[in-house]
Structure 1
């Protein structure tokens, strides 16, 4: 009995789903299988091309390091020309040093002619010339919901009217004028997520943003000296803010910019700060004039190499400014082997505080990650601080890589303020937990 070709009789949407899981070049080859497959590939809803993605048959060993070739772009254009569109996702990821802007522009314009895209990801990584960015003008994609850009120079089209469906905007090391960035934000009123990461950019320090987004729920800023001001003017639904400083050294200017940003984010329920933010704030006079009355979860990345009395005062002020804090997650870092003197210094800095409502009434969960420390015993000083002062603590979790027995021995000698506290030591390598109490 002859075998029945059941796959060819599958519904078209299932065939498209199957092809979406193949490399693009393999999906195109299915047109030769049978008459019923001849045009299915033209309905592909997404394209993921470049580094770690589909290379469209380019098997060159130096694909990721050499300049992009016109022939490769022509293959991409041919693929896009064959598809009907519109596309749910178009993702182009390349690690290149020279990208011809005119070829990329032609490709984007072709995508626009096909009906646009819902999710557009363009990522360019430069190993030799980090300041040489590919320049393009973004077509007015009417259905664009998610835009993620990295390592490029962006220009908005003439008489730009906004992306009215846009909900997620991520900009990483993108050169864009202050006017165009402000215009992009002002015309994207449905934006719920905004991420701005500036590390390799070294522009004139004149970037100032006023953000008024009524539906914004999550914002992430990694900033450097290029910023003059960031103001969250009207973000009534903002729930989470993550703030980083990418400068190697901090300044009072960076302190004022981050403080100005957080003044507008004072009603968030979740907050992440890196150690550079605390270092910058230590240059200013405490206390600051705002608090976080609704904050439930605080995440901190602390560099023990830079902790001093002023930075620790900022840390204590943070705890005082969060009267209803319930969950605290701290990752500790150091770049050199700590000595007993360092551990002793940390013990003096983390002394018993006065007038910290969350320690007395609300803080129930503390997680301390010590796996970035060369000597985890210095991090135990921070653990002991919370064991001694958090009176309603339910769970203390310590994440580590080595020295399990030493940690347990130290914890067994620690004073604990909460009779309900459960201390768990968790090895991130072996996934073994040890119930200390």
Structure 2
């Protein structure tokens, strides 16, 4: 029947369920529809908001800090999921703590995500028994002296945060159910309650019986400050490093080597390719293999938007391959991976059969290359040469690209056809990501 409002006739529980799929700003605006909708949004248990008090462009912002505090206080019950992205000017930093205090007092919080999108804003976290997922970005974290941890926490993501060694250790030690940890510490600060002149431990130790995935960013401020004491369930590790000078490149390379034994039992390893550059600065004499063998490793992923690989970094790449005897999958995610000769800037000539790679002899079956532009593939040909010449049981090289060039350059195809293959079963497949459904 025309003009019948069937949605308003639905049960309240169903209408609240419909509101849960809307952005918070739109859910709150439904209070103006009619008297029956006026307070429905206050029964929501999830809140995802964007608050901009810094920029003039506030189109998607939920409003002022005062109105947002009122919205939070108006919720009838616990808010299980709270996500906030905010721009706060210096005079409004205290509002973030006020928002969180309201959420904490309601109890029942399962997932908390805060991104201040600016300079780190100070926040104090209480012990929360129900919290399972914690994601903090650009936040200055402190813990109270009576902090007891998060008993149910499964995922911990600290990205570009400021925190003391003491507090990050308390977070980890008080969360025995952690399965995923991501640490990207902007700055390790000294705890405020440290005694004057007392030397503080600079080492964060992981003793996590259920930890499955670890992401760690080696930086100048936190290099060599993570050690895995016990993580029998750890399977996946992501290591990133961001050096800014030759001195720190050497230090981060040494820190990476020291960290290798801690993750020797994992099955999946992701590195940004800059790791090889840092290692190349540690010592000109590249070892034949790493200090430890990754006998459980099945997948190695190398990521970087652009990297120029010289002879030293290529030797470290080979060192990793020799230390991973049962590697089955190799992934390269890059825009451009150039092989340059140190003397004249020419392309690599590593187009020969080499011995000493157990994984290339017996286990490596799939190589996946992701590149944005197919025309950059020419810069990857030296790597494809190396793989095809040395991988005896290789079945597939899949090259996934994303650009507007519909035809593969004939000379690239011609060169691929002329490469000698160690495996008669090896196929090279091109996939245009724009054509994938």
Instruction: Please confirm whether the aligned pair reaches a TM-score higher than 0.5, indicating the same fold.
Output: yes
1:101 offset after TM fit, Å? 3.0
**Whole-angstrom CA distance in 1 between matches of 2:240 and 2:105:** 39
Equivalent in the alignment of 1:416: 421
Secondary structure, in 3 states, of the residue corresponding to 1:424?
A: strand
Secondary structure, in 3 states, of the residue corresponding to 1:174?
A: strand
Equivalent in the alignment of 2:431: 426
Whether 1:246 and 2:246 are equivalent positions in the alignment is no
1:99 offset after TM fit, Å? 6.0
1:208 offset after TM fit, Å? 2.1
Mapped contact 1:109–1:139 kept (Cα < 8 A): no
Matches within 5 A, 1:239-318: 239-249=235-245, 250-282=248-280, 283-284=282-283, 285-286=286-287, 287-301=289-303, 305-318=307-320
**Whole-angstrom CA distance in 2 between matches of 1:245 and 1:264:** 17
Equivalent in the alignment of 2:147: 160
Change (3 A) 1:320 1:416: same
Secondary structure, in 3 states, of the residue corresponding to 1:264?
A: helix
1:11 offset after TM fit, Å? 3.3
1:86 offset after TM fit, Å? 1.3
Mapped contact 2:19–2:27 kept (Cα < 8 A): yes
Equivalent in the alignment of 1:435: none
Instruction: Indicate which of 106, 110, 116 corresponds to 1:118.
Output: 110
Count of residue correspondences: 417
Change (3 A) 1:322 1:426: same
After superposition, the C-alpha distances for 1:22-71 in whole angstroms (9 at most, x for unaligned) are: 343442344455555444221111111116xxx7xx9x843389xx99x8
Change (3 A) 1:376 1:5: closer
Whether 1:225 and 2:220 are equivalent positions in the alignment is yes
Unaligned runs of 5+ residues in structure 2 are 191-199
1:332 offset after TM fit, Å? 4.0
**Whole-angstrom CA distance in 2 between matches of 1:240 and 1:370:** 23
Whether 1:148 and 2:143 are equivalent positions in the alignment is no
1:10 offset after TM fit, Å? 2.5
Whether 1:24 and 2:16 are equivalent positions in the alignment is no
1:133 offset after TM fit, Å? 2.2
TM-score normalised by the chain length of structure 2: 0.85
RMSD: 3.3
After superposition, the C-alpha distances for 1:357-378 in whole angstroms (9 at most, x for unaligned) are: 1111111101123436874312
After superposition, the C-alpha distances for 1:314-364 in whole angstroms (9 at most, x for unaligned) are: 11111111111111001345499989x97854224x643312111111111
Mapped contact 2:308–2:339 kept (Cα < 8 A): no
Change (3 A) 1:311 1:78: same
**Whole-angstrom CA distance in 1 between matches of 2:166 and 2:354:** 46
